[in-house]
Chain A
């Protein structure tokens, strides 16, 4: 019953100064809305980065032979030879007894070639690899078939092409399956039959187009790509699950180290573990989100000070009323409750409106980021807003409740 009293009295008190109350509500509204939208923007950009990294394939480790790129071989004691990754190493890594956490190993040779079909031609990055490369790198075949082990053993002149290659080389609506394309690199030229088309794939870095790609069996690369040897510049190791990525990395590194008669630390290989990349980026983007949230929280704090300011004015203005109420027997907690309710109502209205504005604002793209509002940030912003109302409302309300009746009544 006291609650009902406080609510109606408080609403009447707020309604007496509609403009002032609305402006105070606006302060909280902006604070809550800003928290929700900015945290959503932070979340959105974090999700975008994570999706881009996921596009690389999540359970994979890329091992690249750095020694090939002019850094020189690692030297450890007597070992001065350049380290290599051979077909035998790949076979060892593919053996579940020796590397239980590795699902597949795909050698990768890459080169930029000119592909042509009839009169059309364009530059395509060609990847010579094994069939396991496609699932490891999250490529899916949209039409036709994928590579198979027969293609590898027969050194078949077959290719899978990406969406960009399809649109660049073929007229719209044409079926490329079964057609022959030419790939030229320097003085080498080879003819490939298109056996499949890859589904479109997101970009990891945003700079290279993952759809401007042709995939051919690595055994076929010998005639086409310069510098082909039985020494792979890059392999992609796929772990059995996301949880075993680090174990798979360890196994692959151990096998390569012993094959090259050196230690893991001395391997001249660059190991890119996408999971650790993911967690690094997740931590940077979450820092970003926290920063954005903190900026927004400051505006919420300013809104809270607005409440306190308005409540102090209200208490001063209504000192006489407080005196009257006390004179007719209002206990301290009734006065406290009345003004605290007013403050909380202000922050409650502001909080609700702020949630609405925040959710609506989060539906629009902001600086190129699609915001993703999380229920936690919405609930937190709302709860903090109400807490701000209680916190900043308490001082003025307590001041009102502590007035001596005679002093309050005499107040002009």
Chain B
């Protein structure tokens, strides 16, 4: 499934986790075509901690969904760990989502009527991990996000911050190289946001690649690299600095 070397845009022996080239995504809305991504090229190396910012509707989620293999681009190429995802069938894409990617959503997206522990176990279940190991790893993951005593709770019995931490535990339990988070703190108060960001920081320190979307400069400030989108195009891509970027004005409005 590896792309031919000549076709691979990456130099060096270790491929980047994410390599996008001229990625576009258009939506057909009746007669009109909405261009959510207008040709994005981006390389994210192993171990990076990246914030994606941009105004509402600028295409952040669209790009993140493609990176997370939840959606497919209209054109352009995407190499995940050096593998061109265009060549992957449905079963392989499911396996990639299961093993390589941990996804965290703004709206938590826990399975209802299912305990925190069972939610965290779920990805391992799909991976075919044995029940004993599954249980042990899920307990460890919940412990890492500080929720070991909540493992028997159902999603509707937990606060938003707790739910999001369960979701983070679920994303990291399979040891994915890549953790993607679409506005993970968007629905959380400052304290909960702080807790979630602490976990992401710890994960990144442990060598995981973390990419998150945020509207909040405070959150972005804790990452190492900021990518800015506007109207489906990358307008800035630079190491995160303490100074606020002029483009933030657009994001905050």
Taking beta carbons and an 8 Å cutoff, which residues of A are in contact with B?
1, 5, 12, 16, 320-321, 323-332, 334, 404-406, 409
**Residue pair B127, A329 in contact (C-beta under 8 Å):** yes
For the complex, what is the distance from the CA of A406 to the CA of B174, rounded to whole Å? 21
**Residue pair A327, B97 in contact (C-beta under 8 Å):** yes
Question: Which chain B residue shows the least CB distance to A321?
Answer: B111
Nearest first, the 8 closest Cβ-Cβ pairs linking A and B are A329-B98, A406-B71, A405-B70, A331-B94, A406-B70, A329-B97, A328-B123, A324-B109
**Residue pair A332, B123 in contact (C-beta under 8 Å):** no
For the complex, what is the distance from the CA of A5 to the CA of B118, rounded to whole Å? 11
Question: Which chain B residue shows the least CB distance to A329?
Answer: B98
- Interface secondary structure of A, over-half rule: helix
Question: What 0/1 pattern do residues 153 to 183 of B give for CB contact below 8 A with A?
Answer: 0000000000000000011001000000000
* B2 interfacial contact with A, CB 8 Å: no
26 CB contacts below 8 A, A to B, read A12-B114, A321-B111, A321-B112, A323-B109, A324-B111, A326-B70, A326-B97, A327-B70, A328-B103, A328-B122, A329-B97, A329-B99, A329-B127, A329-B174, A330-B126, A331-B91, A331-B94, A331-B95, A331-B126, A332-B94, A334-B126, A404-B70, A404-B71, A405-B70, A405-B97, A406-B71
CB of A318, distance to nearest CB on chain B (Å)? 9
Name the interface residues of B78-135: CB closer than 8 Å to any CB of A.
90-91, 94-99, 103, 105, 109-114, 122-123, 125-128, 130-131
In-complex Cβ contact of A332 among B90, B96, B99, B110 (8 A): B90
For the complex, what is the distance from the CA of A16 to the CA of B156, rounded to whole Å? 14
User: Given the complex, which residues of A lie within 8 Å of B103, measured CB to CB?
Assistant: 327-328
Beyond A327-B68, A332-B94, 6 extra complex contacts between A and B, CB < 8 Å: A325-B126, A329-B98, A331-B94, A405-B70, A406-B70, A406-B71
CB of B106, distance to nearest CB on chain A (Å)? 11
CB of A7, distance to nearest CB on chain B (Å)? 13
User: Given the complex, which residues of A lie within 8 Å of B192, measured CB to CB?
Assistant: none
**Residue pair B91, A12 in contact (C-beta under 8 Å):** no
- B side interface size, CB within 8 A: 32
For the complex, what is the distance from the CA of A344 to the CA of B233, rounded to whole Å? 49
User: Given the complex, which residues of B lie within 8 Å of A405, measured CB to CB?
Assistant: 69-71, 97
User: Given the complex, which residues of B lie within 8 Å of A328, measured CB to CB?
Assistant: 97-98, 103, 122-123, 126, 170-171
**Residue pair A329, B109 in contact (C-beta under 8 Å):** no
User: Given the complex, which residues of B lie within 8 Å of A5, measured CB to CB?
Assistant: 125
User: Given the complex, which residues of B lie within 8 Å of A327, measured CB to CB?
Assistant: 68, 70, 97, 103, 105, 109
User: Given the complex, which residues of A lie within 8 Å of B170, measured CB to CB?
Assistant: 328
Name the interface residues of B128-149: CB closer than 8 Å to any CB of A.
128, 130-131
Question: Which chain B residue shows the least CB distance to A333?
Answer: B91
**Residue pair B91, A329 in contact (C-beta under 8 Å):** no
Question: Which chain A residue shows the least CB distance to B180?
Answer: A327
CB of A271, distance to nearest CB on chain B (Å)? 73
For the complex, what is the distance from the CA of A328 to the CA of B126, rounded to whole Å? 8
**Residue pair B128, A1 in contact (C-beta under 8 Å):** yes
Given known A-B contacts A1-B131, A12-B114, A406-B70, A326 and B94 have beta carbons under 8 A apart: yes
**Residue pair A406, B131 in contact (C-beta under 8 Å):** no
Question: Which chain B residue shows the least CB distance to A12?
Answer: B113
User: Given the complex, which residues of B lie within 8 Å of A331, measured CB to CB?
Assistant: 90-91, 94-95, 126
* B193 interfacial contact with A, CB 8 Å: no
Question: Which chain A residue shows the least CB distance to B128?
Answer: A1
For the complex, what is the distance from the CA of A383 to the CA of B65, rounded to whole Å? 44
For the complex, what is the distance from the CA of A337 to the CA of B25, rounded to whole Å? 32
For the complex, what is the distance from the CA of A406 to the CA of B109, rounded to whole Å? 13
CB of B37, distance to nearest CB on chain A (Å)? 13
For the complex, what is the distance from the CA of A320 to the CA of B90, rounded to whole Å? 19
CB of B131, distance to nearest CB on chain A (Å)? 7
Question: Which chain A residue shows the least CB distance to B134?
Answer: A1
For the complex, what is the distance from the CA of A301 to the CA of B74, rounded to whole Å? 43
User: Given the complex, which residues of A lie within 8 Å of B126, measured CB to CB?
Assistant: 325, 328-331, 334
